[in-house]
Amino acid sequence: MLITLTTDFGYQDPFVGVMKGVIFGINPHADVIDLNHGISPQDVMAAAISLRHSVRYFPQGTIHVAIVDPGVGGERRPLLIESAGNYFIGPDNGVFSFALEDQQPDRIICLSDSKYHLQPTSMTFHGRDIFAPVAAHLSLGVPAKEFGESAESFRRLLWPKVVRQTNCLKGEIVYVDGFGNLFTNIGKEDLREFPSEKLSVTVGTIEITGLAPNYAAGTGGGYIALFNSWDFLEISLYKDNAQRRSQAKPGDKVYVWFNR
Amino acid sequence: MLITLTTDFGYQDPFVGVMKGVIFGINPHADVIDLNHGISPQDVMAAAISLRHSVRYFPQGTIHVAIVDPGVGGERRPLLIESAGNYFIGPDNGVFSFALEDQQPDRIICLSDSKYHLQPTSMTFHGRDIFAPVAAHLSLGVPAKEFGESAESFRRLLWPKVVRQTNCLKGEIVYVDGFGNLFTNIGKEDLREFPSEKLSVTVGTIEITGLAPNYAAGTGGGYIALFNSWDFLEISLYKDNAQRRSQAKPGDKVYVWFNR
Amino acid sequence: MLITLTTDFGYQDPFVGVMKGVIFGINPHADVIDLNHGISPQDVMAAAISLRHSVRYFPQGTIHVAIVDPGVGGERRPLLIESAGNYFIGPDNGVFSFALEDQQPDRIICLSDSKYHLQPTSMTFHGRDIFAPVAAHLSLGVPAKEFGESAESFRRLLWPKVVRQTNCLKGEIVYVDGFGNLFTNIGKEDLREFPSEKLSVTVGTIEITGLAPNYAAGTGGGYIALFNSWDFLEISLYKDNAQRRSQAKPGDKVYVWFNR
């Protein structure tokens, strides 16, 4: 049974390694995959978007642990969610909103049974003391309901909607990857009814005409727009960093114009 | 048998990956965990602190390899230390000082038998040529004493002591994590006899009143002090980077005042 | 069967983790090693150099996947190369030039059979959609020729040659590691006929007399030159960052003088 880890712990400290120590101490045969430890500190939204496009590529039955958890040790509940044959373990702060976007989970458990937690349990590192040991016990076959009491719902973040206006769509940048590519919330289906050869895309003072089929289409220089591997409209610079050059950032508005 | 790796190699080069190639070439069934490759270059003290708080979370019998080794190829000895059922492999420069703080090892071996080293053995990368192959052979069951001659002792760094003064404790910052949290050397036991509600903490011009139970207690803004997951007094900013804002650094003095 | 991954994806996104999800979905028993994800974006040359010195440390039969692929979705072919019992999977852009420097491969396959690709196949992430699934199927024993049509050759980058002049060798910096060490293209064999005690090395305004046996020989301060773990002449600063201090970079000329 695979366990994936998504955190904002970065790569400077032993925090992720220690979680693996806890997991292997409980289940020496666990298969643990680092899905993403480069989430910006406390950026629950980025983690939720990252998970949205990742979960489908893992085999059913995978346990996804996500720890971007500024509220650790406070009132937010630690959860285990079972949905469509997969498991999600982390704080109830919206981090699983988009991975479970169209799903009504089969089971939501509040991780209240301290029998499955490390003792003593710190107030600042539930990844180590609660989420890692629960994931490890779950991977050994402990039934989900053993970990605590059932809960009715979990917190869901709002996905920023694309707005249809007279001659354009209005969206926004939702994610910037390590290459500096600007991911928008505008999906392929949003543009289905429009002829792609007459599109233009604007963000700030940048204007792009038409859609590119791939990055290499941008060898001539200048920004390009294309549908990326997450099926999002993306603004990119061939062999360059669009974020650094444009200074655009999540939340900036993006417009797709038709026949302008 | 688990093997953990702690290095200052960072994430830009194939050095860690090559060590794993060497290990799997010798023991195809080794379980290797990246404990921490983000140690600042040559910062033996940070590696020693990182290991101090990590080893206890791994199952007994784990082999901990640590390579922060500015003296590689020179006179410092390559060691294998067996203590309390765990194994420690690395240069004799103090990197295991705090992981073995209260322990008298069962066995200290100088890795002098070149039969277990890669040939030729470089003067600049003993991680690849000595420490990785020794760890792999050890994980296959080769007895510790086979790797070389016994040694009497190993190098121990000094832990900076907390000083008790009339109405305060004087400690210092010993570690800064990737979130910018400032870890001090002041432990829970140092404060045991003092009522926590009347404490204040100062570092530089920062003054903090009382202890917080968790990070979210700092939602009002401003620095907080709390006991972190390593049981150290830590100075933190909720959803912000205390190091960047304060410019504090390891070695800076920290005071805990009583009834001031 | 080991699978190694070399990419320019960095550590900020879930891209590498998703490739592992794809691999484990096809072969749950795959052994995947992160060889290097810190290649600078689109730096095919750096990836080729990194692989040159890594492949020999992995057991025969290893599958090396390399994805530094600015031409993804365009005309460059996706390849599988079998050579000396090892496998190389990636774009045909020269990334395997030096790992296969002296080798004539046994087989070169263009990955044209879409049966082994994820459907739909994106135009921007062949690591996920083509290279990861092909590597996983190969690790399960699917014969190389099943993945597509044979190809005659693959793209090879030129290795910068060391030039022999009257009283010196002229080379250049080819790689800078995470410590800031400057790797040149000057190998041990280039200097074989010269007495090492009378050498001096210059790069820009830096002049170094003689060769150091190891890093610790530089404790006195100042730049040193030594042969590193890749058997390259390297310029280094003890416990300091030679690149940052000198601002030297790949392509800068390096001279080794005799009896000057």
Q: Closest Cα of chain C to A107: distance in Å?
A: 24
Task: Find the mean pLDDT for residues B164-175.
Answer: 94
pLDDT over 90 (residue A252): yes
Q: Closest Cα of chain B to C117: distance in Å?
A: 27
B68 interaction partners in chain C (CB closer than 8 Å): none
Q: Closest Cα of chain A to B216: distance in Å?
A: 5
Measure CB to CB from residue C124 to each of A53, A59, A229 and give the nearest one.
Answer: A229
pLDDT tens figures, C36-89: 999 999 999 999 999 999 999 999 999 999 999 999 998 999 999 999 999 999
Count of positions (residues) in chain B: 260
Q: Which two tokens stand for residue C184?
A: 């040149």
Q: By the 8 A CB rule, do C44 and C157 touch?
A: yes
C241 interaction partners in chain B (CB closer than 8 Å): 41
Q: What is the pLDDT, as a whole number, of residue C194?
A: 77
Q: Which of A123, A117, A29, A19 is nearest to A76 (CA)?
A: A123
pLDDT tens figures, A191-225: 887 776 689 999 999 999 999 999 999 998 899 99
C18 contacts A215? CB cut-off 8 A? no
pLDDT over 80 (residue B197): no
Q: What is the pLDDT, as a whole number, of residue C52?
A: 95
Give Cβ neighbours of residue C238 (< 8 Å, ≥ 6 apart): B70, C215, C216, C217, C218, C219, C221, C224
Q: What is the pLDDT, as a whole number, of residue C223?
A: 97
pLDDT tens figures, B59-83: 999 999 999 999 999 899 999 999 9
Q: What is the pLDDT, as a whole number, of residue C259?
A: 77
Task: Find the mean pLDDT for residues A64-74.
Answer: 95
Q: Which two tokens stand for residue B142?
A: 């080769």
C41 interaction partners in chain A (CB closer than 8 Å): 178-179, 239, 241
- As a whole number of angstroms, the distance between CA C36 and CA C52 comes to 12
Q: What is the pLDDT, as a whole number, of residue A100?
A: 97
C17 interaction partners in chain A (CB closer than 8 Å): 4, 6, 33-36, 54
Supply the pTM of this predicted model: 0.96
- Chain A interface, Cβ < 8 Å to B: 9-18, 20-22, 24-25, 28, 41-42, 70-75, 122-125, 128-129
Percentage of chain B lying above the pLDDT 70 cut: 99
Q: What is the pLDDT, as a whole number, of residue A195?
A: 72
Using 70 as the pLDDT threshold, list the residues of chain C that sit under it. 196-197, 260
pLDDT over 90 (residue B1): no
B58 contacts A21? CB cut-off 8 A? yes
Percentage of chain B lying above the pLDDT 90 cut: 92
Q: What is the pLDDT, as a whole number, of residue A19?
A: 98
C18 contacts A35? CB cut-off 8 A? yes
Q: What is the dihedral of CA B8, B11, B13, B19, to 10 degrees?
A: 60
- As a whole number of angstroms, the distance between CA B170 and CA A9 comes to 29
C49 interaction partners in chain B (CB closer than 8 Å): none
What confidence tier does B255 reach under pLDDT thresholds 50, 70, 90?
A: very high
Give me the sign of the Cα torsion angle A36, A42, A47, A49.
negative
The CA-based angle B168-B171-B174, given to 5 degrees, is 160
pLDDT over 90 (residue B192): no
Measure CB to CB from residue C34 to each of B17, B42, B74 and give the nearest one.
Answer: B17
Based on its alpha-carbon atoms, the radius of gyration of chain B, rounded to whole angstroms, reads 21
Percentage of chain A lying above the pLDDT 70 cut: 99
Strand-strand pairing, C168-176 and C163-165: antiparallel
ipTM of the complex: 0.96
Q: What is the pLDDT, as a whole number, of residue C204?
A: 95
Burial class of residue B117, CB neighbours in 10 A (0-12, 13-18, 19+): buried
Q: What is the pLDDT, as a whole number, of residue A166?
A: 85
- As a whole number of angstroms, the distance between CA A161 and CA B207 comes to 44
- A224 forms bridges with which residues in the sheet? A236
B50 interaction partners in chain A (CB closer than 8 Å): 13-14
Measure CB to CB from residue A38 to each of C11, C123, C129 and give the nearest one.
Answer: C11
- Distance (Å) of CA C34 to CA A32, A45, B181, C10, C37: 13, 27, 29, 11, 7
What confidence tier does A93 reach under pLDDT thresholds 50, 70, 90?
A: very high
- Chain B interface, Cβ < 8 Å to C: 9-18, 20-22, 24-25, 28, 41-42, 70-75, 122-125, 128-129
Q: What is the pLDDT, as a whole number, of residue C131?
A: 98
B18 contacts C51? CB cut-off 8 A? no
Left, alpha or beta for C259 (phi > 0: left; psi -120 to 50: alpha)?
A: left
